[in-house]
Structure 1
Amino acid sequence: MAYTKYKTTSANGIFSGVYFMGRWTTKTIQNQPTMYTTNLGAAVLLMTKNTDHLNLQLLNTTATNRFQPEIAVFIDDQPEVRFKVNEVPDELQLQSNAPHVVRLVFAGNSDADEVWLHQQGLAISKITISDGELTAIKPAGKAITFIGDSITAGCWVKSRHPAAGYAAELNYAAQTAQALNAEDIRIAYSAAGLLRYGTGGVPAAPRFINYLDFETKMPLPSTDLIVINLGSNDRQFSSEVMQTQYVKFFKALRHLSPTATLNIMIPFNQSFAAELRVIAHQNPQLNLIETKDWPITYTDQVHPDLSGSQLIAKRLTQALTSHYGQAYFAV
């Protein structure tokens, strides 16, 4: 599935003619200036003209790890091509000198990757062309920030294989954003919750929404909607504690992004469904999205598979357009 409508925009990183969608920062890694992210689903968008290739360089930040992170490459409306980060070609070949839309997505990594303390995220040190033009583009619609855990990050969509079995580019968040021609801003980490820490040294959500890693403060990106899917990993905590934590978290998000609307998905395993219904009843400005009757299919009883992701995206898109109206998302 691909976006159908884009618009030109300004470059927002260290490379001319390139748009970085999601949470990225400039960081020197291995003595090289890079654009860096720890978030699966973070993407690069651009349009080429009068060139038949794109020069790329990604750093191998996990050289000693068993599983290599992967990126997904989309060119125009063609099926994706996946590469392990240490196997990305120096030149990405295009079919012709005609204009091409190129989208690169941080698609998969491993729970063993130390993204928080040891800079084992995705680092891009080169995106250039030898001739021709690069133009920064982005989806033409709203911006949606998805906050969650491994399900929202895109883990285990294809299979139970680290990195290769992940599909951040195909999970429910990606497909919902594409259906609405919206920017996909992903803030999600494996095993994380409101109170539980994630893998790779990642802290709980109240901290990771403010930081990209332990030393890099990251303001919440400008966004129109926030979609929250948290709680599946917090089941060891009491109802009272979690209800208090949800309210604090929603207040923090309103403070960080006062113009964004908050949309709360009940976790697919129905954790804290009753508590979220009480909170939504007491706070009518929150849009609660019920998920109890969604016939989701799973890879492992927890993580939606590709069919399940498609179903979730369809139901979530319907829920959002029903609540806000089709015209709200029109481009």
Structure 2
Amino acid sequence: MEQMQVKGKQKSWRYVMSLLLMAVAVIAGGQRVLAANAADAAVTQKKPKVYMEQTEVTMYPATTKTLKLHGASSKSKIKWSSSSKKTATVKSSGKVTAKARGTATITATYKSKEYTCTANVTYGTHKTSDGMKYKDTEGSFGHTGRWFKKSISGGKYYFTNTDGSAVYFKVTGSKYVNVNFVSKISAQTPYFAYSVDGGNMKRQLISNKKISVGNTKTHYVRLVIDAISENENRWGEAGVGIKSIKPVTSSGAVTAITPQNDTIAFYGDSITQGVRALNMALAPSGTSATHSYAWYCADKLNMVPYFAGYGGSGIAEAGCFNSLHNAISSFSMGRKASSYDADVIVFEHGTNDVHTYGDIFINEYKKALQMAHKAHPKAKVMVIIPFTQIHADEIRKAAAPYKKWCTVIETSSWRLSYTDGLHPNTSGAKTAGKNLAKTVAAKRKAS
């Protein structure tokens, strides 16, 4: 009996062991199947011999990126094309140049097969070494200042009769850019000035349209109409226009950018205009908006200057343009000024009002202050006492009722250097700009 029980237990044990062995075999087999499936998946996921390394790229206008077709035995046999040349172009090397916001399909055709990459061209923001912050925008250039559309020489172009008006653009793929000007002038040839990537301003006549950006990489250009002769009839719309801005090479691209910095507006006379800032010549060769106190002040504050400086003008005197009231309200005799955003407004007037005194001067000055405040209610208004100290008391009286938003800038202690005893030279303009910027910064910080 006991022997039978022992034999029964042995059979049961053998049965359990056999089941365990079967289970292990099933699990092992399953793992082999999984491993085999994984190997098969790895084979199916392996990249083909020829493929586009990037199937989608994001770019900013006037930038480049080179695409590569991996595995192609001969690059010369690859044919590249773009579905939208207005958005992006591509060279035989696979180099893509972004031109305008949008989407383009870049196709590489190799041995009758097509390989594609989607190029998304979008807007971005960019900074330069002079503290300016730019944003991409439509067109070939952005602009600030007193520009308006004018029909001239058979076309309609952006045009200005004011020194200091500026345009901005970005260029890639070309060492040189041609700025094609149109003009309505009867006196001397005007000057323009430009900087590349926030560097020092370079100055040349508008008859010399070619400017250098250094190399074919992406660069940011700031171009300023630097000097128009005071002898021009600005009130009758004498001035300079921009016909086109184009790269010298066909593969290059020029696109528009606009500054995002705050704006400081300057309403003044020849001192704001920069007359005789360079030398004694009462002409464009001696005048420079980019060497005026206004330019140096704006540069110190990293602000965009809006110039409305005209030689000989004043509260009542017309000068080469017209009186301050008309400078605020009008671009010319028959054209109203367009609106713009100003964070700070500076008045530099009174030097030329040698025939207007007392209550007449005070009331006219008040009227100008009220006009500026109405147009820009949030802006801080700064009024400079003329460097000669003429009308100092009257200006203080005119500004007194508006202390909440108007500040008088005293200048008697500035110790400026001049070319002719009236107009600051470059050194004097830098000193005046630095002193004014210090006061403006303090007032803005306190608000």
What is the TM-score normalised by the length of structure 2? 0.67
Residue in structure 2 matched with residue 121 of structure 1 by the alignment? 239
- From the superposition, tell whether residues 280 and 83 of structure 1 become closer, same or farther in structure 2 (CA, over 3 Å): same
For structure 1, the 5+ residue unaligned runs are none
CA-CA distance at 1:273 after TM superposition: 1.1
For structure 2, the 5+ residue unaligned runs are 1-128
Per-residue displacement from partner, 1:277-302 (whole Å, max 9, x unpaired)? 22333321211111111111111111
* Paired residues of 1:150 and 1:191 also in contact (CA < 8 A): yes
- From the superposition, tell whether residues 17 and 316 of structure 1 become closer, same or farther in structure 2 (CA, over 3 Å): same
* Paired residues of 2:149 and 2:159 also in contact (CA < 8 A): yes
Distance in 2 (CA, whole Å) between partners of 1:275 and 1:122 is 37
Per-residue displacement from partner, 1:255-294 (whole Å, max 9, x unpaired)? 2222222111111111211122223333212111111111
Per-residue displacement from partner, 1:138-165 (whole Å, max 9, x unpaired)? 4443111111111111111001221011
Residue in structure 2 matched with residue 257 of structure 1 by the alignment? 376
Of 23, 31, 43 in structure 1, the residue corresponding to residue 166 of structure 2 is 43
Residue in structure 1 matched with residue 137 of structure 2 by the alignment? 10
Distance in 2 (CA, whole Å) between partners of 1:79 and 1:255 is 36
Distance in 2 (CA, whole Å) between partners of 1:246 and 1:74 is 36
Residue in structure 1 matched with residue 24 of structure 2 by the alignment? none
Per-residue displacement from partner, 1:182-239 (whole Å, max 9, x unpaired)? 111111111001100112xx22111122211112211342111111111111122122
Of 396, 415, 418 in structure 2, the residue corresponding to residue 298 of structure 1 is 418
Q: Is the partner of 2:290 in helix, strand or coil? A: coil
CA-CA distance at 1:35 after TM superposition: 1.0
Residue in structure 1 matched with residue 302 of structure 2 by the alignment? 181
Residue in structure 2 matched with residue 147 of structure 1 by the alignment? 267
Residue in structure 2 matched with residue 100 of structure 1 by the alignment? 219
- Equivalences for residues 278-317 of structure 1 within 5 A: 278-285=397-404, 286-317=406-437
Instruction: Tell me whether 1:70 sits opposite 2:191 in the alignment.
Output: yes
Distance in 1 (CA, whole Å) between partners of 2:252 and 2:363 is 55
Of 276, 289, 299 in structure 2, the residue corresponding to residue 156 of structure 1 is 276
Distance in 2 (CA, whole Å) between partners of 1:149 and 1:76 is 30
Distance in 2 (CA, whole Å) between partners of 1:249 and 1:310 is 27
What is the TM-score normalised by the length of structure 1? 0.89
**CA RMSD, 1 decimal:** 1.9
How many percent identity over aligned positions?
26
Instruction: Tell me whether 1:136 sits opposite 2:263 in the alignment.
Output: no
Q: Is the partner of 1:297 in helix, strand or coil? A: coil
Give 1 or 2: higher helix fraction. Answer: 2
Amino acid at match of 2:242: I
The number of equivalent residue pairs is 315
Residue in structure 1 matched with residue 147 of structure 2 by the alignment? 24
Distance in 1 (CA, whole Å) between partners of 2:251 and 2:332 is 36
Distance in 1 (CA, whole Å) between partners of 2:255 and 2:152 is 26
Of 327, 347, 357 in structure 2, the residue corresponding to residue 238 of structure 1 is 357
Q: Is the partner of 1:209 in helix, strand or coil? A: helix
**4+ residue runs of structure 1 moved beyond 4 angstroms?**
none
Distance in 2 (CA, whole Å) between partners of 1:36 and 1:196 is 25
CA-CA distance at 1:132 after TM superposition: 3.7
By relative contact order (CA 8 Å, sep 6+), the higher-ranking structure is 1
Amino acid at match of 2:433: A
Q: Is the partner of 2:254 in helix, strand or coil? A: strand
Distance in 1 (CA, whole Å) between partners of 2:284 and 2:244 is 23
